Amino acid sequence: MGNQLRTADSSIQESIETLVRLKKISAQLTKVEDVIRLARDQGDTVFIFGNGGSGSTAVHFAADLMKTANRPGVKRIKAISLNDNLSLTTAWANDASYEHVFKEQLENLMKPGDVVIAISGSGNSKNVLLATEYARSNGGITIGLTGFDGGSLKSLASVPVVVPSNDMLRVEDTHLAICHLLVRLLRDGRTDRE
């Protein structure tokens, strides 16, 4: 039991240290907040997507942007998770390839000025990169949430946010913490920035 407690304590401490290191990238988080705020004010749409745990984060974040970030008297954010339509995702995966499941949806939905938030722990998921490339080439504002060294997403995204960790579970935990932080900032942000 003692070893398990030390392991739990150690893991908790590592998670805390990862969150503390986010202070070093607070300028990037402020940029993301500003991009989403501008999209909200201009009536643009925020598209979010990822694979596996990142896909779950995309769904969660879209829901929070559409509901929890609301403030009385302030425009609402239009957000869509590209992970929500399982029939469409599997149709594209089956008929084209899994690499196209997000890009093809963006081709139907995205317009210039829309925000595209790509989530990939490694930063190297081909379908995430292909969709980000499409968005960037067609007037989308691209944000990349990643970890490790940022992978290819770090240089592809207009605003990269790289979690300072080499542990996938910790990266995914921190991505959700970042999403909640952004929702709080958008909901409770300073009125002089409105």
8-state DSSP, 76? P
User: pLDDT higher for 63 or 9?
Assistant: 63
- Domain residue limits, the chain: 43-193
What's the whole-number mean pLDDT along residues 85-90?
A: 96
SS3 content of the chain, % helix, strand, coil (to 5): 60, 15, 25
Model pLDDT, residue 6: 62
CA gap 186, 24 in Å, rounded: 20
Return the closest-CA partner of residue 111 out of 145, 83, 80.
80
Residue 189: the pLDDT is: 77
pLDDT, tens digit, for every residue of 122-156?
999 999 999 999 999 999 999 999 999 999 999 99
Q: Give Cα separations from 129 to 32, 65, 96, 126 (angstroms).
A: 19, 23, 16, 5
Longest dimension (CA), the chain: 56
Superfamily of domain 43-193: Glucose-6-phosphate isomerase like protein; domain 1 (3.40.50.10490)
Model confidence over 13-45: pLDDT tens digits? Answer: 998 999 999 899 999 999 999 999 999 999 999
Q: Which of 120, 113, 172, 173 minimizes the C-alpha distance to 151?
A: 120
| 84 has pLDDT over 70 | yes
